[in-house]
Amino acid sequence: MKSVTSSPGKGIQGEIKYLLEEQYSFVGGDRVQHMLIDDLIRIFQQYSRDPWNLEMGETLWFAVHMDEKPGPGKKLAQMRVVPVILSVTHEDDKKLRANGYSAKEVRRYRVARLLREAYHQKGVLTQADVAELIGVSAGTIGKDIREYQAEHGVILPYRGTVHDIGPSLTHKKVIIEKFLQNIPTPDIARMTQHTEEACDRYIKSFKKVRMLFGKMKQFEIARTLEMSERLVQEYVRLIEGQEHKKEEVNHVS
């Protein structure tokens, strides 16, 4: 083995290039190595956050990426994650307490804030994540989410709704219901507290299911579009409900 004395180039790029040439020469040619170096640096920069740049009350957390596709038997260690900065405490919490809100009410707002902050950074938190951040049980967090959603008429973006896991009513279904009511996308985004981009993405997915409906079985649609069968079933029910309404209108007329 050659001794490491110096490396070509400058900075981290040169160090990685030298390492590849000395220890991993079997990894492609110069072009492949340069592509690998660029990807490694991009990942390093994405996951490196200077703790001194965090504001008081903020913490760094690793959340499952919002575009990660869950699968049967797929463990968390196998999933793509993304670093997110979350405000565990915030000035708004103090203001709520000063205005007479109970500890339970303040906690519900904290839960909603954490979920939205992660989602806006392309991450989704589990109820267990939020429970660990706040210091209560996952069951308490689940109850907080249900009560907040019912009180404010929204669907919070946590992993159960974003990735269609468990018995949660998916926010995708809510967005599509509003789309079928001919509500404009900007209004849907405002009402569901999601980005227009996210709403458009879900609407396009629904249109794909609608296009395949009647031509394939539901499990085939799910497999073809890489969706969960549960989500396809929800979309199919919406499609059937819409068709039923059309039949009633035609019958009356």
Token pair 């009180």 is found at: 151
Cα separation, 78 vs 192, whole angstroms: 30
Q: Which residue has the higher pLDDT, 63 or 72?
A: 63
What secondary structure does DSSP assign to 20-74, as a single string?
HHHH-TTS--HHHHHHHHHHHHHHHHHH---GGGSPTTEEEEEEEETT----TT-
Mean pLDDT in residue range 206-210: 94
Report yes or no on 1 lying in a domain.
no
Q: What pLDDT does 201 receive? A: 86
Report yes or no on 238 lying in a domain.
yes
Q: Is the pLDDT of residue 164 over 70?
A: no
- Residues 15 and 60 reside in one and the same domain: no
Give how far Cα 147 sits from Cα of 9, 153, 216, Å.
58, 10, 38
* pLDDT bucket at 73, cuts 50 / 70 / 90: low
Q: Is the pLDDT of residue 1 over 50?
A: no
* pLDDT bucket at 5, cuts 50 / 70 / 90: very low
Mean pLDDT in residue range 195-199: 82
Contact between 55 and 87 (Cβ < 8 Å): yes
What six digits make up the tokens of 123?
Answer: 């991450």
- φ, ψ of residue 163 to 5 degrees: the values are -105, 15
Q: What pLDDT does 22 receive? A: 72
Q: CATH no. for residue 112?
A: 1.10.472
What pairs with residue 124 in β-bridges?
A: 64
- pTM for the structure as a whole: 0.61
Token pair 């965090």 is found at: 54
Q: What pLDDT does 251 receive? A: 61
- Residues 71 and 157 reside in one and the same domain: yes
Contact between 85 and 58 (Cβ < 8 Å): yes
Q: Which residue has the higher pLDDT, 113 or 192?
A: 113
Report yes or no on 6 lying in a domain.
no
- Lowest model confidence (mean pLDDT) among 27-31, 32-36, 80-84: 27-31
Q: Is the pLDDT of residue 26 over 80?
A: no
Could you say which of 117, 141, 161 is where a domain stops?
161
* pLDDT bucket at 74, cuts 50 / 70 / 90: low
Query: Where in the sequence is the domain holding 154, given as residue range(s)?
Result: 54-161
Mean pLDDT in residue range 151-169: 72
Report how many domains make up the chain.
3
What secondary structure does DSSP assign to 148-213, as a single string?
HHHHHT-----HHHHTT-TTPPPHHHHHHHHHHTT--HHHHHHHHT--HHHHHHHHHHHHHHHHHB
Mean pLDDT in residue range 118-131: 92
Cα separation, 27 vs 20, whole angstroms: 7
Cα separation, 155 vs 211, whole angstroms: 27
Report yes or no on 152 lying in a domain.
yes
